[in-house]
Structure 1
Amino acid sequence: MQSETPDTNILVWLPSPMGDAILCTPALRAIREHFKSSTICFLASSLIRETLSPSAFNDQWIDSDAKNPLTVAAQLKRHRFSHAVLFKNSFASALAVFLAGIPARIGYAREKRGFLLTDKLHAARLPDGRFKPQSMIDYYLAISGLLGAEAVDRSLGLDVEPKATEDLKSKVPELTDARGPIVVIVPGGAFGPSKCWPDVRFAQTADWLITNYNATVIISVAPERTERQIAEDICDLSEHRLINLAERSLSLGELKALFCRADLVISNDTGPRHIAVALGRRVVTLFGPNDPAWTDTKCEDEIQIIGNVPCAPCSKPVCSQSEHLCMQVITVAMVCEAAKELLEGDRKHATIMTQQQFVETSKSFFVDPDHESALEKLGLNSIDGVFSFNAATNLGKENLARFRSRVQFEIDAPQPQGATTVFLKRYNRPPVSVQLKNWLSAQGRRSCAMIECSTASRLTASGVNTPKTICYGDQWGSLFEKRSFIITQQIPEAVSLERRLPDFFTGPPAGENLKARRDFIAKLADFIRKFHETNYRHRDLYFAHIFYDDDGRFHLIDLARAFEPVVLSRRFQIKDIAQIHYSAPGQDFSKTDRLRFILRYVGRDTLTSEDKMFIRKVVSKARRMARHDKKHGRQAPFEN
């Protein structure tokens, strides 16, 4: 704890990202209140100074964009600071204050700089060495707490210059004539494109706000070329006139004044979102690659929509997957519903999860919280427990690889389901050749179970029904997978098309039966087309792996066989349709039915020459499969 003396002269070195600097403000407030009579000087870039000004938390500013610690140290030495409080985490900042001879140097011992500090904190870490996610507000408050400056107020704080408010009127005169709510959309992100929601969805959201609320929608982006292009694209995609701030030169002060006027801000997880929160605005924030825990503000006027897919949070500036799933799963409907709740003063959610949420109850063991206790009763609460579990029905086949096992058992499911059947797939030391093949197919290093889990998540997000995953996990050696598993829930009230077709196939193809059959074929074609539109293919797309439930919905199973072809995508598409054609019983599906399926699948009323060539290849592939069956004494279903 540091006590205040007449000679206390405090340097506070602020972090560089705009969002982090704003998240510092509760700690800055605490330091100011504790050291009321001391001189407090902020060291920051010009961007951060403009963001935080005017500030009641300091007496002076030092503008420094210099990166050389020797240059900065020489600059600081002249001020004779008694304390240096480092909210910036870099090694260079600690070295600079050390070289400047500042007696008390307070900050986090990270980036190998601990020996340069006199008072240091250690950030919490996870077992794998990564930093444990925590709100940066609390992270920074721990530093002020080390000074004895305990926080009473945890809220973010920013002020706006009156002149900026006046200047804004001439820059954005449309605000004066606004008849509905003023909505600011922030579609960019300095972190990288992985944080960005698709432009077309921002445009659709803007159109919805204008249609339903007569909103004045403003697109706010940074002056960089990439973000200016984003703003232009959104405006071009919108059916209404939007205000594009990329075409107007607003200072940061004027931007804060604009946010003060906003009734709602819709933003990616980026710096301006924190401006909106600090100014007490209603905010919808879209999270993808970064863990929301890092920037949690407990704001009561914010709704967070989180793309919680298996590969997130990855903290990567650029998505390494073939599809930017964490942001893709956030739908326009979700954002519009959140906007409606806030605009109408009826917030029902603080957080909206786009998909299931899993918790890590032991190392690399992830479980749906709704099923955690039921699995724990069976000893399924760790990877070791999963691989020693034997109270189940073995579903193994003769041709099942030795490293794989499949079992079936029942668990107590949440009400009103009661007992439910689940399936456990285990992969124990898969051969290196299999793993390398999987990595190539998945375009990344993933375990066997994680590939299936990720595939299910991505397909579900794209509208393709799959079995619900309730638990998964994996264990790695230094490079290769040791073992992995996935537990999925039985699809309720559903059966495979191979085992049983709907009842309307049993009667004559006339009247209501005929109509129901045609609807069924159309829905099946739509389902397969939607699956293929995800760029996935299935090595066994037979009727045995397509389920149909009592509500008339299709489901795809055996997702370990689904993959994204790196090459020959068309060839695998032909193979998929050939497998559908092959496994559709001839006694139930006529040639006309099959033609209807293809027409619906390609989305045309008449076949093109390309479609006819496609059909010939499909039929040829199915016939080759049938000849193979005949050699083994089996008859192909489509020939029955």
Structure 2
Amino acid sequence: MKIAVFLPNWLGDLVMATPMLRAVRRHFGPETRIVGIMRPYLAEVLSGTDWLDEQWYFNPHAEQRRLRHLAVVQRLRREEFDLALLLPNSLRTAVVAWLGGVKERIGYARYGRGPLLTRKLDSPRAHGRMIDYPMVDYYLKLGAAAGCAPESPRLELATIEADERSADAVWENLGLRTDGRVVIFNSSGAYGAAKLWPMEHFGELARRVVDELDHDVLVMCGPKERDLARDIVRLSDRPRVFSMADQPMGIGTAKACIRRGRLAVSTDSGPRHVAAAFGKPVITMYGPMLPIWSQNPTVHAVDLLLDLECVGCQNRVCPLGHHRCMQDISVDQVYAEVARLVGECRAACAA
């Protein structure tokens, strides 16, 4: 049997799909060939896991023709897949699977793609309206529709030797502590500016973590966030605050670095889920998105959210112009949670 899994386009969503991938592999067994179809920039996310036999890369906007619709459709036709699981809700993925001749196509009937699916799932609803729903459970329902047994919602990632070697070099280059006393900061927000916590807040928080908790701080960043990471280091005015701005930028390296941290302080973006997948406590500042999308009982999570009418607006930029949902989450509030978690970690290590 051959299964094609169209994977989510965002880092965090892909991490939240790992329980479903685990369920699919467990149900169909090692004799089934499972191919993940994904964005090229996510190539390293699942390295070290064994759920996929192969990864194909698909980007409809790419300059290289081999990554576009026609190339993927032709490849699907040549391989003659039996089943496609469509995790993105887009019409595009359903069209590609249908044109690719996949015999059975399972997905949520959204955006007019219902006629292209052989097995349709309805989005979670209450009183006739769609409701916010944990993404891990949303994806697991697709696995259940394919016959998979109930699976733990535990997020899971792994690293490979090359990732760890790269992280070794980062630790050596920056002079980070090797005894676990490193707090990971993630200030990114690829979704949009509305998800960002002020860099001045991050800088002050970093200073307090170094001065009061005797931990190093490592600020993660992507290629477009180098200046933001450098600004946080500058604003902290502490030599034990470091950034990844001038270090290797691969997702594999980021995974290995996050895995070495004691805990993570993050905006609601991809690295937050990476930390959770490695079992790290995660403090997340929420604003335009509600925590329910990331809700997972297996994650040691502290979700900080203000009681404002506009919270959960889902806008990429604050339409009201004040950005209070993030601006007003205080450094004191976040620091109190960091100090509590560091204390718990110290107590557990001493036990």
TM-score under structure 1 length normalisation? 0.51
Question: 1:154–1:170: structure 2 CA closer, same or farther, 3 Å change rule?
Answer: same
| C-alpha distance in 2 between matches for 1:111 and 1:100 | 20
1:58 aligned partner = 52
One-letter amino acid of the structure 2 residue matched with residue 186 of structure 1: N
2:231 aligned partner = 233
1:490-505 matched pairs, under 5 angstroms: none
1:278 aligned partner = 277
1:27 aligned partner = 20
State which drifts further: 63-72 or 270-279. Answer: 63-72
2:38 aligned partner = 44
Partner SS state of residue 254, structure 1:
helix
1:309 aligned partner = 308
Deviation of residue 301 (structure 1)? Answer: 2.0
The 8 Å contact of residues 223 and 249 in structure 2, kept in 1 or not, is answered as: no
Deviation of residue 258 (structure 1)? Answer: 0.5
2:65 aligned partner = none
Partner SS state of residue 111, structure 1:
coil
The 8 Å contact of residues 179 and 214 in structure 1, kept in 2 or not, is answered as: no
Deviation of residue 49 (structure 1)? Answer: 2.3
Deviation of residue 247 (structure 1)? Answer: 1.6
1:172 aligned partner = 171
| C-alpha distance in 2 between matches for 1:53 and 1:153 | 21
Deviation of residue 52 (structure 1)? Answer: 1.5
1:468 aligned partner = none
2:349 aligned partner = none
The 8 Å contact of residues 55 and 158 in structure 1, kept in 2 or not, is answered as: yes
Deviation of residue 285 (structure 1)? Answer: 0.8
1:606 aligned partner = none
The 8 Å contact of residues 169 and 175 in structure 1, kept in 2 or not, is answered as: no
The 8 Å contact of residues 182 and 263 in structure 1, kept in 2 or not, is answered as: yes
Deviation of residue 135 (structure 1)? Answer: 0.3
| C-alpha distance in 2 between matches for 1:107 and 1:180 | 42
Partner SS state of residue 144, structure 1:
helix
Q: Which has the higher contact order (CA 8 A, sep 6+)?
A: 2
State which drifts further: 91-100 or 248-257. Answer: 248-257
Question: 1:233–1:300: structure 2 CA closer, same or farther, 3 Å change rule?
Answer: same
2:64 aligned partner = none
1:286-297 matched pairs, under 5 angstroms: 286-297=285-296
| C-alpha distance in 1 between matches for 2:51 and 2:126 | 34
| C-alpha distance in 2 between matches for 1:141 and 1:98 | 22
2:255 aligned partner = 256
TM-score under structure 2 length normalisation? 0.92
What fraction of aligned residue pairs are identical, expressed as a percent?
31
- The answer to whether residue 154 in structure 2 is matched with residue 147 in structure 1 is no
Deviation of residue 71 (structure 1)? Answer: 3.5
Question: 1:240–1:179: structure 2 CA closer, same or farther, 3 Å change rule?
Answer: farther
Partner SS state of residue 344, structure 2:
coil
| C-alpha distance in 2 between matches for 1:102 and 1:76 | 7
Deviation of residue 126 (structure 1)? Answer: 5.4
| C-alpha distance in 1 between matches for 2:93 and 2:214 | 49
Deviation of residue 334 (structure 1)? Answer: 0.9
| C-alpha distance in 1 between matches for 2:171 and 2:292 | 35
1:182 aligned partner = 182
Deviation of residue 276 (structure 1)? Answer: 0.2
The 8 Å contact of residues 178 and 216 in structure 1, kept in 2 or not, is answered as: no
One-letter amino acid of the structure 2 residue matched with residue 320 of structure 1: P
| C-alpha distance in 1 between matches for 2:309 and 2:60 | 40
The 8 Å contact of residues 69 and 93 in structure 1, kept in 2 or not, is answered as: no
| C-alpha distance in 1 between matches for 2:104 and 2:217 | 49
Q: CA-to-partner distance for each residue in 1:320-363, whole Å, 9 max, x for gaps?
A: 1131111122111110111111111189xxxxxxxxxxxxxxxx
One-letter amino acid of the structure 1 residue matched with residue 25 of structure 2: R
| C-alpha distance in 2 between matches for 1:188 and 1:308 | 23
One-letter amino acid of the structure 1 residue matched with residue 28 of structure 2: F
Partner SS state of residue 58, structure 1:
coil
1:242-253 matched pairs, under 5 angstroms: 242-253=241-252
- The answer to whether residue 324 in structure 2 is matched with residue 325 in structure 1 is yes
Deviation of residue 105 (structure 1)? Answer: 0.5
The 8 Å contact of residues 42 and 58 in structure 1, kept in 2 or not, is answered as: yes
The 8 Å contact of residues 182 and 217 in structure 1, kept in 2 or not, is answered as: yes
1:605 aligned partner = none
| C-alpha distance in 2 between matches for 1:195 and 1:250 | 21
| C-alpha distance in 1 between matches for 2:339 and 2:10 | 31
Question: 1:179–1:159: structure 2 CA closer, same or farther, 3 Å change rule?
Answer: closer
Q: CA-to-partner distance for each residue in 1:489-532, whole Å, 9 max, x for gaps?
A: xxxxxxxxxxxxxxxxxxxxxxxxxxxxxxxxxxxxxxxxxxxx
- The answer to whether residue 72 in structure 2 is matched with residue 79 in structure 1 is no
Deviation of residue 179 (structure 1)? Answer: 6.1
Partner SS state of residue 266, structure 2:
strand
1:220 aligned partner = 220
| C-alpha distance in 1 between matches for 2:180 and 2:37 | 41
| C-alpha distance in 2 between matches for 1:149 and 1:274 | 24
| C-alpha distance in 1 between matches for 2:280 and 2:147 | 31
| C-alpha distance in 2 between matches for 1:260 and 1:65 | 29
| C-alpha distance in 1 between matches for 2:46 and 2:33 | 18
Partner SS state of residue 344, structure 1:
helix
Partner SS state of residue 246, structure 1:
coil
1:421-570 matched pairs, under 5 angstroms: none
One-letter amino acid of the structure 1 residue matched with residue 207 of structure 2: D
Deviation of residue 128 (structure 1)? Answer: 8.0
Question: 1:24–1:180: structure 2 CA closer, same or farther, 3 Å change rule?
Answer: closer
| C-alpha distance in 2 between matches for 1:278 and 1:185 | 16
One-letter amino acid of the structure 2 residue matched with residue 106 of structure 1: I
- The answer to whether residue 100 in structure 2 is matched with residue 107 in structure 1 is no
| C-alpha distance in 2 between matches for 1:239 and 1:97 | 53
The 8 Å contact of residues 179 and 215 in structure 1, kept in 2 or not, is answered as: no
The 8 Å contact of residues 177 and 216 in structure 2, kept in 1 or not, is answered as: no
One-letter amino acid of the structure 2 residue matched with residue 89 of structure 1: N
| C-alpha distance in 1 between matches for 2:307 and 2:298 | 20
The 8 Å contact of residues 276 and 299 in structure 2, kept in 1 or not, is answered as: no
| C-alpha distance in 2 between matches for 1:76 and 1:54 | 25
The 8 Å contact of residues 11 and 42 in structure 2, kept in 1 or not, is answered as: yes
1:524 aligned partner = none
Question: 1:42–1:180: structure 2 CA closer, same or farther, 3 Å change rule?
Answer: closer
Question: 1:179–1:145: structure 2 CA closer, same or farther, 3 Å change rule?
Answer: closer
Partner SS state of residue 10, structure 1:
strand
Partner SS state of residue 141, structure 1:
helix
Deviation of residue 244 (structure 1)? Answer: 1.6
RMSD of the TM alignment (CA)? 1.8
Deviation of residue 201 (structure 1)? Answer: 0.6
The 8 Å contact of residues 171 and 177 in structure 2, kept in 1 or not, is answered as: no
Unmatched tracts of structure 1, length 5 or more:
1-7, 348-640
| C-alpha distance in 2 between matches for 1:94 and 1:262 | 39
The 8 Å contact of residues 180 and 213 in structure 1, kept in 2 or not, is answered as: no
| C-alpha distance in 1 between matches for 2:299 and 2:125 | 29
